[in-house]
Amino acid sequence: MPFVGLRVPNHNLTLEILNNLQFPLAAPSANPFGYVSPTTAQHVNEQLADKVSFIVDGGKCKIGLESTIVFFENPEEPAILRYGGVDIKEIENCIGKVKINISSSSKPHSPGLLDKHYATFTPIVNLTNIDITKINSEKTGALVFKEFLKFLPEKNQIILSENGSIDESACNLFDSMRNLDKKGFELIVYENFPQIGLGFAINDRLKRAEGS
């Protein structure tokens, strides 16, 4: 494809590094292909410590989701290829109306659009896709928005935002998925998040983690 992706990070440490370079910086994501994205330096260290010379620690990611990708093949009709850390309304306030062109493909135009991506090693399933009466409650973890599920032990669950904040949920999403993945569950279940703001991106990541 004759396209290039450009990203300008919003982090003082990263911007300082870029401002001291005399050339454009091209770099891959700091995690193995397909697994849950890292949001802390510790996450990167757990997966890449023996593959990289050093890790720059700028603290926990403030947003917690990958970039929103805007496609300008047709400048008159920019398209969103991937939901991400910038709300669609914020983008439209800057450049006007955008087309939503989110898809799944074996040969996607954008990173993060495979049917199966951002996935935990433990199978993860939307609550609407299972019969909760047939699961082993002691061997099942849950990723929930703001309230515990009644049919699972509370110790097996992670609430992303007790006060119901979508932004806080996004910030905690990947770290919580990783934590549940380490607990030896047979299954992780998750509920749908409100389709507002970053909720679109959260639901997109969870759906792709499930591979549904």
Q: What is the CATH classification number for the domain harbouring 138?
A: 3.40.50.11030
Share of the chain above pLDDT 70, in %: 92
Q: Can you give the pLDDT at residue 106? A: 45
Q: How would you classify the pairing of strands 187-190 and 79-82?
A: unpaired
Q: Is residue 133 part of a domain?
A: yes
Residue-number span of the structural domain to which 153 is assigned: 124-210
Range ranked top by mean pLDDT from 4-13, 15-24, 55-64, 138-147: 138-147
Asked if residue 129 belongs to a domain, the reply is yes
Instruction: With respect to residue 142, please indicate whether it lies within any of the assigned structural domains.
Output: yes
Task: State the pLDDT at residue 181.
Answer: 96
Q: What percent of the chain has pLDDT over 90?
A: 69
Q: Which residues contact 44 (CB under 8 A, 6 or more apart)?
A: 30, 31, 38, 52, 55
- Across 86-115, average pLDDT: 75
Q: How many domains does the chain have?
A: 1
The structure's pTM equals 0.85
Span 4-32, average pLDDT: 87
pLDDT confidence tier of residue 8, bands split at 50, 70 and 90: confident
Q: Is residue 146 part of a domain?
A: yes
Query: Residue 138 above 80 pLDDT?
Result: yes
- Across all residues in the chain, what is the average pLDDT? 89
CA distance 12 to 9: 9
On whether residue 155 sits in a domain, the answer given is yes
Task: Give domain status of residue 128, yes or no.
Answer: yes
Looking at per-residue pLDDT, the higher value among 194 and 31 belongs to 194
Q: Is residue 35, in this structure, part of any structural domain at all?
A: no
Mean pLDDT for the stretch of residues 64-74: 91
Residue 186 in domain: yes
